Chain A
């Protein structure tokens, strides 16, 4: 694989890890967050500071970043997940901006708005590939277990979920913490890919992009999230010249998808080889049927 494509793969892989988290939170639990870039930022800065200042091994630093993001997510979620939909969304939005401003403010630690440079380029193809596989398997097994069922129950009908004994608060907290850990994890990889960090990388637009990616890919589908990540990461690469209009294009894409196909490109179903084989078998049956009729 050439260097360019490896680079693209690394970017798609990192974005996919964050989006998987958002997918569990938004696609399966119907909690909208506009603050997950904040968790990414926590993971990125924590791991970068650990490797540059304290010579902590790369993997350990990424792990620490992910855990810290998870802990912050736990604290924030405990305070805010009792709120109803829109109010919760506003708190996540506030959180994302707070983290950004805080990291600009504590200049001695983070380098402030001027940025943090001199991070070693540790993130390579292999580590991203392994991360993606582990993150995907964990998300998949989580969704296809009682945990995932409880989350979808909350998405579908929260009052009824309560009525069958599901602790909705605890399950929402689980989804929120998983999304924070994934964001922190991806943030750590991203920091050692870019080798340079500044707080505004993780602004509101980044958080919005994550949610938009999940919506475009399809709510309630992990493979759909992968599709969405590819579209959102690759299109700006293909249309480099139009990069100024990126947000505009996202906006149009979301409006089109919500009006034409509200569940997203691949909503509420998963990609599976067996289904495709079955579809082709049915197709051949149907076509042979018409041939017979024709004869």
Chain B
């Protein structure tokens, strides 16, 4: 994925100001910055929830700027949300099955008459979902209602749901939010494993620096919509502007 000169304004506020990004295949890229820096806005613009005011987003060589969210998803961009958005009253299995809807080719007549095509595809779908749930460790909770799961499991389920879409790019919006140290260590391993297993490129927003340090090959630091630094975390860490953005100016 490549993003060139992306701009997004809300009224007079420049939420994203000439943002550029180049994602390398198979790498984990971090997007960090103080609250209100425009990180989630970038996610929402990439996934088509917001239309950019200027700039271009290319994915797999195709111009995807201004496509609708479901079209971006169909091209292979999976995402999670900052405030978890599961299909709350459905069970764990259903959450994953819904995300696999693109694997299905049967039509309404096949399903009305319960033809072999329907049965075969539904069976395959369930098997695939079960396999995925085994990988994320939720196999014993398939019948549990999604919003009854503990917080960490909800995060995992949301990632599993995004992966069920068969994406090549995964956008994670603060996956470690609200987790303690132990849980975030586990999460780092989990994301690494998922990334390897499904051959994903990952772009993630994260505040926990140990998670960023554990995962990201490359980070971009934002403040007030502007990119203030970009590079490996240890390079960026001592950048004067980054320190100022987080801690304020030195007197």
Contacts and interface: CB of A to CB of B under 8 A. Distances in A.
Nearest to B158: A160
B69 interface: yes
B161 A164 contact: yes
A150 B49 contact: no
A157 B98 CA distance: 12
Contact of A164 (B49, B88, B101, B108): B101
Interface in B61-105: 68-70, 73-74, 78-79, 81, 85-90, 94, 97-99, 101-102, 104
Contact of B108 (A147, A153, A156): A147
A165 B87 contact: no
B86 A166 contact: no
Interface stretch (B111-119, B176-184, B208-216, B234-242): B111-119
Interface string B146-165: 00000000000000011011
B227 interface: no
B73 A162 contact: yes
B70 A162 contact: yes
Interface string A129-163: 00000000110011011110110110011011111
A161 B81 contact: no
Which 7 interchain pairs have the tightest Cβ spacing? A145-B111, A165-B73, A156-B87, A162-B69, A164-B99, A160-B85, A165-B74
A167 interface: yes
A149 B108 contact: no
A156, A157, A164: residue with the most chain B Cβ atoms closer than 10 Å: A164
Contacts of B68: 162
Given A156-B89, A156-B90, A162-B70, 19 more contacts: A141-B112, A142-B111, A144-B111, A145-B111, A145-B118, A147-B108, A147-B111, A152-B90, A152-B98, A153-B87, A157-B85, A157-B87, A159-B81, A160-B161, A161-B98, A164-B162, A164-B164, A165-B101, A166-B98
B47 interface: yes
Contacts of A152: 87, 90, 94, 98
Contacts of A141: 111-112, 114
A176 to B, nearest CB: 15
Given A157-B88, A164-B161, A268-B89, A149 B94 contact: yes
A168 B104 CA distance: 16
Q: Which of A137, A145, A153, A268 has the most CB of B within 10 A?
A: A145
Contact of B85 (A137, A142, A159): A159
A149 B98 contact: yes
B112 A156 contact: no
Interface of A: 137-138, 141-142, 144-147, 149-150, 152-153, 156-157, 159-168, 268
Contacts of B161: 160, 164
Given A146-B101, A164-B165, A159 B49 contact: yes
B104 A164 contact: no
B71 to A, nearest CB: 8
A27 to B, nearest CB: 12
Contact of A138 (B49, B89, B112): B112
A101 B61 CA distance: 54
Given A153-B87, A159-B49, A163-B47, A168 B111 contact: no
A165 B102 contact: yes
Given A138-B112, A157-B86, A163 B98 contact: no
A265 B192 CA distance: 46
Contacts of B102: 165
A77 B157 CA distance: 33
Nearest to B77: A163
B111 to A, nearest CB: 4
Contacts of B122: 145
B104 A146 contact: yes
Contacts of A268: 89
